[in-house]
């Protein structure tokens, strides 16, 4: 939740509020006559390289190398690779329209474009 403080109170405790924002990381909005004017936020240093930039931001739980399922069958995967899959693919649910017999016929054709004869 954002903390709001009026300008007079901020002026009286400026240095203490700056230290508080730097430690907690929570921004403070400074208001003047009830309207937000300035927001005080902590400065975060950018890492020099991307390598290790997220160090310490998350924690790995459990085994991330092993299989996801307990009933993983390596032999079944090999059989599927060698001779195909256990379940055949589903057939198409619609009829083929090779001859397009069900397609609507076009109404009459457009009249050919007549061009004027060139004058020489």
pLDDT in tens, 56-108: 888 888 878 876 766 666 777 777 677 765 555 566 555 555 555 555 555 66
Could you tell me if 24 and 3 are in contact, meaning their C-beta atoms sit under 8 angstroms apart?
Answer: no
Query: What token pair was written down for 65?
Result: 């190398």
- Domain holding 14: CATH number? 3.40.1620.10
Let me know if residue 69 belongs to a domain: yes
Let me know if residue 34 belongs to a domain: yes
Q: Nearest CA to 21 among 40, 2, 7?
A: 40
State which residues form the domain around 66. 3-44+60-83
Let me know if residue 66 belongs to a domain: yes
Let me know if residue 101 belongs to a domain: no
Where would I find the beta strands (DSSP E) of 1-120?
3-6, 28-32, 35-40
* Nearest-angstrom CA–CA distance, 19 and 40: 11
pLDDT per residue as tens digits for the range 28-65:
999 999 999 999 999 987 767 778 778 888 888 887 88
Give pLDDT, residue 32: 94
The DSSP bridge partners found for residue 31 are 6, 36
Let me know if residue 65 belongs to a domain: yes
Let me know if residue 104 belongs to a domain: no
Give pLDDT, residue 118: 76
* Nearest-angstrom CA–CA distance, 106 and 87: 43
The yes-or-no verdict on residue 17 having pLDDT over 90 is yes
- Conformation bin of residue 33: beta by default, left when phi > 0, alpha when psi is -120 to 50: left
Give pLDDT, residue 104: 56
What is this structure's pTM?
0.39
Give pLDDT, residue 85: 57
Let me know if residue 14 belongs to a domain: yes
Which has more pLDDT, 50 or 12? 12
Number of domains forming the structure of the chain = 1
Could you tell me if 58 and 65 are in contact, meaning their C-beta atoms sit under 8 angstroms apart?
Answer: no
Let me know if residue 76 belongs to a domain: yes
């Amino acid at each position: 939740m954002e903390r709001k403080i009026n300008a007079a109170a901020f002026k009286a405790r400026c240095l203490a509020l700056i230290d508080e924002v730097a430690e907690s990381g929570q921004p403070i909005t400074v208001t003047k006559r009830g309207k937000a004017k300035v927001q005080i936020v902590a400065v975060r240093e950018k890492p020099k390289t991307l390598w290790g930039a997220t160090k310490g931001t998350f924690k790995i739980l459990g085994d991330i190398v092993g299989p996801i399922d307990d009933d993983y069958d390596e032999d079944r995967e090999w059989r599927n690779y060698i001779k195909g899959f256990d379940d055949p693919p589903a057939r198409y649910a619609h009829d083929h329209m090779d001859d397009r017999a069900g397609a609507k016929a076009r109404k009459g054709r457009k009249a050919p474009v007549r061009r004027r004869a060139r004058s020489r």
